[in-house]
Structure formats: structure tokens, C-alpha cells
Structure 1
Amino acid sequence: MNDEESRCERLKQHSLSIIKAHAEINLSADEYLSDQPLSSEEKKYYDECKQYYYMTKRPLISVSDEIFDHNVAIESLILKFGIDEDCHQFKLQNFLNNICSMLNITMHDISIKNIQNGSAILETEIFGKLESKDKALKIRVMYESLTDKMQEEIAKLNVFFLYMGSIEAFAKQQNYRSEIKLNPQFNRTYGPGHTYWTGELKDGRDRGGKPYYCPVGWQRNSLYIIDNLRARYKGWCICYHGTKFSFGLAILLSGLKPADNTAHGEGIYASPSIIYACHPRYAEVKDIEPKHQNEYFKIGKDQYGNDKY
């Protein structure tokens, strides 16, 4: 038995012990149903998370930045689950038994806050009895344990979304997401017959001394960032971030996070070379089924507030 098999066996035995410990508890979803409806921003966000879930067969997992900031004191942490089930048919106790065993926690570690209507949106407080630094450490360990295999197992519980962090950070994330606007006047298609040049672009702009070559064969879909963008980011080079398809969708929904592999230091890794960034070592080509193409990639509003694809 190799190390991975041994680890899986230990987790299995631990899961069985947790399920046994919870066998006498029988919580009902009806006890926690909230009358408060989802905001329009939340509903739209969860609909997009479901599209991610349908395409990737795994939940969108989001974690707040403060979890990785050792200088931030965390008073309260939540786990927020989006479950693709009717909340009135949702078997709360069965779900808790399974998710606790998967996340290596017990019912004593969590406190159920509420379940919102629609799909079952379950909010729980976690590690409420621990000190701030211990909460952050525990949640980081939990987050780092979410391997691809574990995410697939969590998806089998119909979980399409999992958030780890403070409720305040979650609210900010929702607000930021709702304010994303497209800026189609700066959309580009690069190549002969479209936007095209050869060699290093010589247009007089300060890009930090880095060359900018035509990214032939690519399209740019521009987002509104800030007025006077060129003046604000003078001296910044054009750079690219290559990643797997599922990670790219997660970035659209919840943003970039610092790299796990910090061989060149902490931070988010990018390259001024699109050829380097799109290498299969980092990036992935994905054929998107037609039924998902328009449903998912509706990512914002134009400057007039109209929904755009």
C-alpha cells in the first residue's frame, strides 16, 4: 500500500468514526430555513457557480484573502455551501455527516446559521471556539486539503459552491462581482486583417521596458477598470497568466489568489510572453459545449448598465 492509499484508508476510517458519532443527531433543514430572500447579486452569482459546476463536475471553491494574511485578526469564519437541491427536500443531517467526514471536522466545530430558499444555501460558522490565529490555521489546512479527488467527492453531494472566510469578505466579493463592467470599445482580435503588427510595438507608451508583441490568434475581451487607465498604470508591462480551464472560470468568479508553488517568491505569477503563458504546462485548451457558451460567459454589464456577453 503506497502513501496515497494509506492516507485514503486513514481518511475512510476517520470518516466512519465521525459518521458513527453523529448517528444519534437528526437535524432538519426546516428548522433553519430563512425568510430572507437571496439578493439579486447573490442569485446571479450562484447561477454562474452552477454553470461552473455543470461544466467542471466540481464545486467552485472560494476563500477570502484574509485567510492567508497573518497580520489580520479573524473574529468569525463561515463555511457557505451552495447545494443543488430544493431546500424543502434537503436532507440536512445526511449532508452534514458526509461533509464533516470529508473535511475532517466534527459537528462540534460548526454552528448552523441558516438555510436560504431556492437551492439550499447553507451558512455555518466554523471553529467559533478557537482563537483567531488558530481559526485561520485550521481553515488554511482545510483549504489545502481540497485535492481534485476530494472536490469530485464533494460535488457528488450536489455542492456547486463552497466559500471559506468571513461574512464581511463574502459581502465585499458579491458587491465587487456585481460592479464588473465590460469595456467593448477596447475589445480586440489579433492577427492579419484585424489588429496586427510585426516585431516590438513602437507606440511611445511606457511599458516598463518590456517589449509588447502582437498576440496573434488571440482575442481580448476588455473589462472596465478605471478612468485614465494608461496614466494610472504607466510603467506596467502587458502580461499574461496561463492556467487550467476550470481555474480560469474560478478566476472569473472569485479572482486570482497567490500561487501555491512559490519557487520565485510569493504572489501571482504572470509573463510578458503569451507563448510562454499558453504552454500546456500552464494553460489548457477546452472545447465548450454550445449550451454553455452563452449561459456562462455573460460576465458583466456595459458602461450603460446593459447585460453583455
Structure 2
Amino acid sequence: MGKLKFLVLLVVLIGIVSIGLADVSYPYLSQYGPAIVNWGSNVKYGGTLKIILPDGPLQYSLNPFMGNNSTLPTSFIYESLFFVNLTGDVTNMLGTSYKWTDNNTQLDVTIRQGVQWSDGVPFTPQDVVFTFNYLKANPSIDLNGIWSSANDLVSVTASGDTVIFKLSQPNMAIFQYLVGEPIVPEHIWSKISDPAKYTNPNPVGTGPFLFKSFDQPANTVTYVKNPNYWMTGRPYLDSVVVTSVNSNDTCTLALIKHEYDMSNLYIPGVEQTYISKDPKNNKIWWPILGNNHLILNDAK
């Protein structure tokens, strides 16, 4: 597809907010896996991560199922079972272990204990079961096509602290989509009859941050630290502020002035335009824009 166009400015703080980074090479990984780095005892608590994006006017919607570049980010609020990076490394989130059984037609996921939703209600395996069956009952929000006949998913049930995904035939390629789906609380979403149109103005999640406010004239959304987050000692930050503007040029200028810490945008001639302005602090990361899969047909 030619030269990748999107750049992400990475700062150390992105790891601090416990967002997964691909190919983390630090020798001191945490108990959760490669995406959650153990930064040691020299990390300072506090501060705000300021993100600027060239996505134009934002819509006041925090629906994790229907999110896109024009809606408010929800990845700070909602979590999935695992995080899978580009090399296939798995980091434990709301799931703590998994195994394929029954000739790879059943995926058993052990669910983390002691987690609370941000409103204080305990998180349970039944929330996971509800989320997936909710997608089945409302195909308009199943944007990954998890329940498509092509993916062979038959049922999602719970037994004790284990959630069981049953398939009609082996299809291990569905793993990243199953474990990457944001999990929502049954006690909130079971009352929503049309989730595709629900803006979710008061989101309740298990993630490291809570939604605080959306300043529509400033096109800025603010998230604050979840004091009851299940991951001990995280997040380090007090808040995250995301602002959206109308152009890449506006983003670039703001980054050069160090008015913001991070962005996801295209910068022409990035070495000269951006990095050379402050080589010590101005860093880039080239992400992969899509996944390529080679699936062998061993049935014929």
C-alpha cells in the first residue's frame, strides 16, 4: 500500500495510562503481559496527558459499540478481555487466562476477580456473557461481525469464573475479535432497547479513567483518574485531555510548540518538519494500518 502515512507521536506517558503499545521491549514487564510495563519505583504520580487529533468537530457520544473518529474516545473507559499486539503477544485485562479445548472449537476464558464497575457494582462473568449475547440480539452494533456465520460462533455462556465461547468448527482467527470486544455492564445496557442510537452520556466502565466533561465549543473532552481501578497503582496520571481540530497543520503546529503531548496524524517530511525542531523530545512511531492474515484450509 506504499509508504505509511499515519504517524503517532509517542511520549512516555502513553505507557503510564496503561494503553497497550505494540512490541514493548523493556526487560521489566509487569505481571499482566507485554503491554503493561513495570516502570519501577521512579515513576511520579500526577499530571495530565494532552492529546490533539485532526478529526474535526466531535459528536457527544460515548457509545463503545458505535465509536469512530468523530465520537468521543471510549478506550479510556471500557476494557476488553485481553489486549493482543501486532506480534500476537497477549496482555491480560478483564481476562486472566485462556485455553482452546475440544479440538479448538471451544475457547475458555478465566475472568478477573475483584473488579468493580465505576459505579461500584461488581464486575462478573455474566457481564461478559451479556455483552456478547447483546451483540447477537442487536446486529447493528456488531461491527466486527462476531456473530457472522463466517465466524462460526455458536454460543457464549458462563460456568463459575469461566466464560465459554463455543464454535461450530475450529476458527482460531476469531480470537483477537472475541477478546478485543469492549465489555459493558449488564445492569446498565440491559435497559437500553436501541443501543445503536444510544449516546451513553454517563458511561460506566472498568477502565483506568472516568469521563468528566465535554466542552463542545472547545471540542475538548476530559477524563479523570478512576480511583478504584483494579490494576494496583495505575493509572499514574490524574487526567487525560483530548482536543480535536480541523487539520493536520494545526495539530503539527501545536505539537511543535509543545502545547500537546501526542497525536495521530500525517506530517509531510516529518524529519524536517517536526523531529528536527526538538530531536530530544519530538518522537514518532509508524503504526501498521491493518492486519494481514494467512488462513490455511486444511479441510480440503
TM-score where L is the length of structure 2: 0.27
More helix by percentage: 1
What is the TM-score of this pair, normalised by structure 1? Answer: 0.26
Computing the radius of gyration over CA atoms, which structure comes out larger, 1 or 2?
Answer: 1
- Say which structure is richer in strand: 2
Higher RCO, Cα 8 Å, sep 6+:
2
